[in-house]
A = this chain, B = another copy of it.
Amino acid sequence: MPTTDRIWTAALLVIGDEILTGRTHDKNIAQLASWLGVQGIRLKEARVVADDMGAIAAAVNALRTGHDYLFTTGGIGPTHDDITVDAVAEALGVPVVVDPEARAILEEYYATRGGLNDARLRMARVPQGSELIPNRMSGAPGIKTGNVFLLAGVPHIAAQMLDALTGTLEGGAPLLSETIGCWTAESEVADLLRAVEKAHAECQIGSYPFFREGRTGANFVIRSTDPDALASCADSLCGALAEAGKDFTPGGI
Contact = CB atoms under 8 A, between A and B. Distances in A.
Output the residue of A33, A49, A191 with the most chain B CB within 10 A.
Answer: A33
Nearest to A10: B20
Output the residue of A17, A34, A47, A50 with the most chain B CB within 10 A.
Answer: A17
Given A48-B29, A50-B44, A77-B207, A187 B117 contact: yes
A30 B26 contact: yes
**How many copies of this chain sit in the oligomeric assembly?**
2
Nearest to A116: B187
A83 to B, nearest CB: 12
Nearest to A187: B78
Contacts of A205: 80-81
B33 A187 contact: no
Given A17-B223, A22-B30, A79-B193, 16 more contacts: A16-B206, A17-B204, A20-B33, A21-B37, A23-B177, A24-B208, A45-B49, A47-B47, A77-B186, A78-B186, A78-B190, A79-B186, A79-B207, A80-B197, A81-B205, A122-B190
Interface of A: 16-27, 29-34, 37, 42-51, 55, 77-81, 113-114, 117-120, 122-123, 138, 154, 175, 177, 185-188, 190-191, 193-194, 197, 204-211, 221, 223
